[in-house]
Chains A and B, each alone.
Chain A
Amino acid sequence: MAKKRYAMLIDMRRCIGCHACTVACKAENAVPLEVNATWLKIIEKGIYPNTRRYFLPRMCNNCTDAICARNCPTQATYKRDDGIVVVDQHRCIGCKYCIASCPYDVRFINPLKNIVQKCYFCVHRVDSGLVPACVESCPTRAMIFGDKNDSKSEIAQMLATNATEVLKQEMETDPQVFYIAADETVMSNVEKKINYRAESSLIKLRL
């Protein structure tokens, strides 16, 4: 049997933008204020009356070729055999180089623990046979989680029979979070396109 390779599939045809995944993640992983391991990106597109909101649940892609794991100087970030990228919180020195090299902006400093954290597909739940908290909480079953190498799993079948997309394919990281029918604009770097003058609010210098 092939190695386990956990992946997530998010069906945007079903997503209603309710933020349940954000809240579930915060509660399950005790993510402090001001930082998010999972969040819902929302944009408004079009000119009245032809407008619509588009959503995109965002989380760590647990990439197969993770730049963060390659660049971590202490091997605190490493890949498990089942494909999940985890951070050893006792080994992380907080150099933040992984955050700087992640193309998806999904890593953050936990202000209470002073180490780097991110989404680990709720590894503690997965190890005891459950699905991640966001998947569990999704009211429309837009999120599917499972072993994509197991051909009997729902995710393997969905991946095989649907057109899927990933974020920033050009980064060659082989992301393991797949989207069905996600809008092109919401997946692209909209904020950058709207205004390349970097927002000064972004530059919170911690001195």
Chain B
Amino acid sequence: MENSDVNVIYSVQHQLPLVMYIGQYFFFTGLSAGSFVISVIATLLGRREFKPIGKITAILAPILLIIAPLNLIADLEQPLRFWHLFVFYNWTSPITYGSFLLTAYPIMGIIYAIMVYTDRQKAAKILGIIGIPLAISVHGYTGFILALAKARALWNTAAMPTIFLVSAMVSGIGLVVIIAAARWKWFDKKATPEDRKKDKKLILQLAQFMAYIIMLDLFLIVSDILVLLTAHSDAYQAGMLILTGNFAPLFLGVEIFLGSIVPMVLVLGPTRYSLRAIVIASILVNIGVYAMRFVMVIGGQSIPLS
């Protein structure tokens, strides 16, 4: 419809409900879930050279997941009433799944970390296998929080939990690569040159794994946007908002170009043996995922509803 002859004289739009605390929370749970999965993979494979990475990530996962819900409580208008979540739960609300998952998962993560550090391999393996579905649900449910908010076209898609999970893996591996590289550079001096070589090779492999997951992430984002552009009018507006609207620089520039394509080229291109390039790629990946959380949370709400 031609709308040049329509003026809005008066209407009320209320403040954005969910602000960047929520995006940050998504970012931190993503990092945590990603590093936990890496840790469990390292433990399950059980090779000696994987141990350092398994240990780093085992401790990272619970620490990040203790930081994450602090964002949620800070976002509440009545922070002292957060215990209502456990007493007056509502099983149709994704936040209720979250409040129980967010309690169970860090406890599990701490026990798992103790097992890894005390070198009880069997217990660590069993806990890891139990923990992976838990880690996936802890991050997957954040996708459901957005997907089940039916009003917002950008969020209300079945792909949302998967997109969140995959980008969580990407950012989690990115963080692990950064920390493993720092360890290799500064805290790994005592190891034999052979061990150092092996460690470096492992970091490079991890970065390549990250690049492949970025490809999967890009595929999911492209399919999501293609469907948005051909769905109903609200969805079309949401797609146009991130492709050509105010969120385009952040989405196309930071999330897609800086956060996905550049790191992929750095990791798979001619610089693939340079640790420095890989660390830069990992930092960019994390910036890109943070931008993705911003575009999703704030962008999803910035289309006027009335």
Chain A interface residues toward B at CB < 8 A: 35-36, 39-47, 53, 58, 67, 70-76, 91-97, 99-105, 107-109, 114-116, 170-171, 185, 189-194, 196-200, 202-207
Contacts and interface: CB of A to CB of B under 8 A. Distances in A.
5 contacts: A40-B10, A100-B18, A105-B306, A185-B6, A189-B234
B301 interface: yes
B9 to A, nearest CB: 4
Given A93-B77, A101-B149, A114-B77, A71 B7 contact: no
Specify which of A42, A93, A189 lies most central, judged by the most chain B CB atoms within 10 Å of its CB: A93
Contact of A101 (B11, B150, B302): B150
Given A44-B6, A202-B13, A70 B151 contact: no
B8 A43 contact: yes
B298 A203 contact: yes
| A-B CB proximity, top 7 nearest | A94-B77, A198-B302, A73-B95, A99-B17, A96-B17, A101-B149, A103-B151
Given A190-B3, A193-B1, 19 more contacts: A39-B10, A41-B8, A42-B10, A91-B81, A93-B78, A94-B77, A95-B75, A101-B151, A105-B304, A105-B305, A107-B17, A171-B151, A191-B8, A191-B13, A196-B240, A198-B246, A203-B298, A205-B20, A207-B20
Interface string B145-177: 100111110000000000000000000000000
Contacts of B299: 198
B90 A73 contact: yes
B151 A97 contact: no
B299 to A, nearest CB: 7
Given A73-B90, A93-B77, A94-B77, A196 B10 contact: no
A171 B81 CA distance: 31
Nearest to A48: B5
Contact of A108 (B3, B14, B95): B14
B92 A191 contact: no
A206 B92 contact: no
Contacts of B233: 189, 193
A41 B306 contact: yes
Contacts of B96: 73
A186 to B, nearest CB: 9
A42 B9 contact: yes
B19 interface: yes
Interface of B: 1, 3, 5-20, 72, 75-78, 81-82, 84-85, 88-90, 92-96, 99, 145, 148-152, 232-234, 237, 240-241, 245-247, 298-299, 301-306
Chain B facing A: main interface SS: loop
Contacts of A193: 1, 3, 6, 233, 237
B16 A202 contact: yes
Given A96-B18, A198-B245, A205-B19, A58 B12 contact: yes
Given A39-B12, A41-B306, A102-B151, A197 B88 contact: no
B144 to A, nearest CB: 10
Contacts of B241: 196-198
A39 B11 contact: yes
Nearest to B248: A197
Contacts of B301: 100
A200 B16 CA distance: 11
Given A43-B9, A91-B84, A192-B234, A75 B245 contact: no
B17 A93 contact: no
Contact of A71 (B84, B148, B234): B148
A70 B16 contact: no
B95 A97 contact: yes
Contacts of B75: 95-96
A102 to B, nearest CB: 6
Contacts of B89: 73-75
A70 B145 CA distance: 12
